[in-house]
Amino acid sequence: MLLNLTGSIAIWGGGELFQVLDNIVKSGVLSEELVSILATHCRDSSLMVRKLMVQSLSGLVRRNPDCDMIVKLWVEGVFPLILDVEQKAAERAHQVMREGRKLPSCLP
Q: Residue 108: inside a domain, yes or no? A: no
Q: What is the value of pTM for the model shown?
A: 0.70
Segment 55-65, tens digit of pLDDT: 888 888 888 88
- Can you tell me the distance from the alpha carbon of 38 to that of 34, in angstroms, rounded to the nearest whole number? 6
| Total domains present in the chain | 1
Q: Residue 107: inside a domain, yes or no? A: no
Q: Which whole number is the average pLDDT over 64-79?
A: 88
pLDDT for the residue 21: 66
Angle at the Cα of 53 (from 105 to 84), degrees rounded to 5? Answer: 90
pLDDT for the residue 18: 60
Instruction: Tell me which residue of 82, 77, 14 sits closest to 42, measured CA to CA.
Output: 77
Domain of 93? Answer: 2-102
**Average pLDDT for the chain:** 75
Q: Which whole number is the average pLDDT over 77-95?
A: 87
Q: Residue 41: inside a domain, yes or no? A: yes
| Residue 89 pLDDT exceeds 80 | yes
